[in-house]
Structure 1
Amino acid sequence: MVHWADYMAEKIIKERGDKEEYVVESGITPSGYVHIGNFRELFTAYIVGHALRDKGKRVRHIHMWDDYDRFRKVPKNVPKEWGEYLTMPVSEVPDPWGCHDSYADHFMGIFEEEVEKLGIEVDFLRASKLYKSGEYANEIRLALKKREKIMEILNRFRDMAKQSHLPDNWQPIQIYCPKCRKEAEFVKWDGEWKVFYKCPHCGAEGETDIREGNVKLRWRVDWPMRWAHFKVDFEPAGKDHLAAGSSYDTGREIVENVFGWKAPMTLMYEFVGIKGQKGKMSGSKGNVILLSDLYEVLEPGVIRFIYARHRPNKEIKIDLGLGLLNLYDEFDRVERLYFGLEEAKNPEEAEELKRTYELSMPSLPNRLIAQAPFRFLVVLVQMPHLTGEKIIEILKEQGHVPAQLDEEDLNRTRLRIQLAKNWVEKYAPDEVKFEIQEKIPQIEISEEIREALMEVAEWFEGREKFTVDELNSIIFNAAKKRNIPSEKYFGVLYNLFIGKDRGPRLAPFLASLDKEFVIKRLRLEG
Structure 2
Amino acid sequence: MIKNTNIIIKNKENIYGGDYLHWADAMAKKIIKKREKQNPKKYLVASGITPSGHIHVGNARETLTADALYKGLINNGVEAELIFIADTYDPLRKVYPFLPAGYEKYVGMPLSEIPCPEECCKSYAEHFLKPFVDSLEDLGINLTLYKSDENYKKGLYDEKIILALENRDKIRDILNRYRKEPLPEDWYPLNVVCEKCGKLSTTKVINYNRENKTIEYVCSCGHKNTVKPFKGRGKLPWRVDWPARWSIFNVIAEPMGKDHGTSGGSYDTGVKIAREIYNYQAPEKIIYEWIQLKIGEKAVPMSSSSGVVFAVKDWVKICHPEILRFLLLRSKPTKHIDFDLKAIPNLVDDYEELERKYFELMKKREKGVELNENDMDKIRLYELSTPKIPDELPLQIPYRFCVIISQIAYDAEKGEINMDKVLEILKRNNYESIDSIKESDFERLKTRLYMARNWALNYGEVLKIIDLEKAKEIYNNELNEKQKEWIKTFGEKLREIEFDALSIHELIYNSAKEMELNPKEAFLASYKILLGKKYGPKLGSFLSSLDRDFVIGRYSLTK
TM-score w.r.t. the length of structure 1 is 0.91
* Match among 485, 488, 498 for residue 521 of structure 2: 488
Aligned ranges 1:61-140 → 2 under 5 Å: 61-140=82-161
Distance 2:191 2:199 in 1: 10
Residue 113 (structure 1) shift: 1.5
**Amino acid in the other structure paired with 2:94:** K
Q: Please give the per-residue CA displacement for 1:441-482, whole angstroms capped at 9, x wherever unaligned.
A: 23146776566555544544344x465333322222222122
Distance 2:225 2:466 in 1: 76
Residues 382 and 434 of structure 1 are in contact (CA less than 8 Å); yes or no, is this contact kept in structure 2?
no
For the pair 1:197 / 2:216, whether they are aligned, the reply is: yes
Residues 325 and 386 of structure 2 are in contact (CA less than 8 Å); yes or no, is this contact kept in structure 1?
yes
* Match among 188, 191, 195 for residue 174 of structure 1: 191
**Amino acid in the other structure paired with 2:472:** P
For the pair 1:395 / 2:426, whether they are aligned, the reply is: yes
* Match among 460, 465, 480 for residue 428 of structure 1: 460
Distance 2:138 2:455 in 1: 19
For the pair 1:367 / 2:392, whether they are aligned, the reply is: yes
Give the 3 Å change call, closer, same or farther, for CA 7–525 of structure 1 in structure 2.
Answer: same
Query: Paired residue for 1:11?
Result: 30
Give the 3 Å change call, closer, same or farther, for CA 356–129 of structure 1 in structure 2.
Answer: same
Q: Please give the per-residue CA displacement for 1:87-114, whole angstroms capped at 9, x wherever unaligned.
A: 2212112222222222112111122112
Residue 370 (structure 1) shift: 0.9
Query: Paired residue for 2:368?
Result: none
Residue 300 (structure 1) shift: 0.8
Aligned ranges 1:82-481 → 2 under 5 Å: 82-158=103-179, 163-183=180-200, 184-192=203-211, 194-276=213-295, 279-321=300-342, 323-340=343-360, 348-383=373-408, 387-400=418-431, 402-403=433-434, 404-429=436-461, 433-435=463-465, 437-439=467-469, 440-442=471-473, 443-444=475-476, 452-453=486-487, 456-463=490-497, 465=498, 468-481=501-514
Residue 236 (structure 1) shift: 0.7
**Amino acid in the other structure paired with 2:465:** E
Residues 225 and 259 of structure 1 are in contact (CA less than 8 Å); yes or no, is this contact kept in structure 2?
yes
Residues 187 and 197 of structure 1 are in contact (CA less than 8 Å); yes or no, is this contact kept in structure 2?
yes
**Amino acid in the other structure paired with 2:450:** Q
Residue 381 (structure 1) shift: 2.9
Distance 1:360 1:502 in 2: 34
Residue 181 (structure 1) shift: 2.0
Give the 3 Å change call, closer, same or farther, for CA 172–401 of structure 1 in structure 2.
Answer: farther
Give the 3 Å change call, closer, same or farther, for CA 471–96 of structure 1 in structure 2.
Answer: closer
For the pair 1:515 / 2:548, whether they are aligned, the reply is: yes
Q: Greater CA deviation, 167-176 or 225-234?
A: 167-176
Residue 192 (structure 1) shift: 4.3
| C-alpha RMSD of the superposition | 2.6
Secondary structure class of the residue paired with 1:118: coil
Give the 3 Å change call, closer, same or farther, for CA 14–408 of structure 1 in structure 2.
Answer: same
Residue 79 (structure 1) shift: 2.5
Residue 485 (structure 1) shift: 3.2
Q: Which runs of 5+ in 1 are unaligned?
A: none
Residues 428 and 544 of structure 2 are in contact (CA less than 8 Å); yes or no, is this contact kept in structure 1?
no
Residues 371 and 401 of structure 1 are in contact (CA less than 8 Å); yes or no, is this contact kept in structure 2?
no
Q: Please give the per-residue CA displacement for 1:405-432, whole angstroms capped at 9, x wherever unaligned.
A: 11210111111111111111111147xx
**Amino acid in the other structure paired with 1:435:** I
Q: Greater CA deviation, 387-396 or 350-359?
A: 387-396
Provide the aligned length of Structure 1 versus Structure 2.
517
Distance 1:341 1:381 in 2: 33
Give the 3 Å change call, closer, same or farther, for CA 87–485 of structure 1 in structure 2.
Answer: closer
Aligned ranges 1:7-46 → 2 under 5 Å: 7-17=26-36, 18-46=39-67
For the pair 1:505 / 2:538, whether they are aligned, the reply is: yes
Give the 3 Å change call, closer, same or farther, for CA 232–467 of structure 1 in structure 2.
Answer: same
The percentage of aligned residue pairs carrying the same residue is 37
Residue 188 (structure 1) shift: 1.8
Aligned ranges 1:43-58 → 2 under 5 Å: 43-58=64-79
Q: Please give the per-residue CA displacement for 1:380-399, whole angstroms capped at 9, x wherever unaligned.
A: 23336783332233224424
Q: Please give the per-residue CA displacement for 1:21-48, whole angstroms capped at 9, x wherever unaligned.
A: 2111012112222222112111111111
Distance 1:77 1:385 in 2: 33
Give the 3 Å change call, closer, same or farther, for CA 421–262 of structure 1 in structure 2.
Answer: same
Residues 361 and 379 of structure 2 are in contact (CA less than 8 Å); yes or no, is this contact kept in structure 1?
no
TM-score w.r.t. the length of structure 2 is 0.86
Residues 300 and 308 of structure 2 are in contact (CA less than 8 Å); yes or no, is this contact kept in structure 1?
no
Q: Greater CA deviation, 31-40 or 54-63?
A: 54-63
Q: Greater CA deviation, 216-225 or 291-300?
A: 291-300
Residues 409 and 421 of structure 2 are in contact (CA less than 8 Å); yes or no, is this contact kept in structure 1?
no
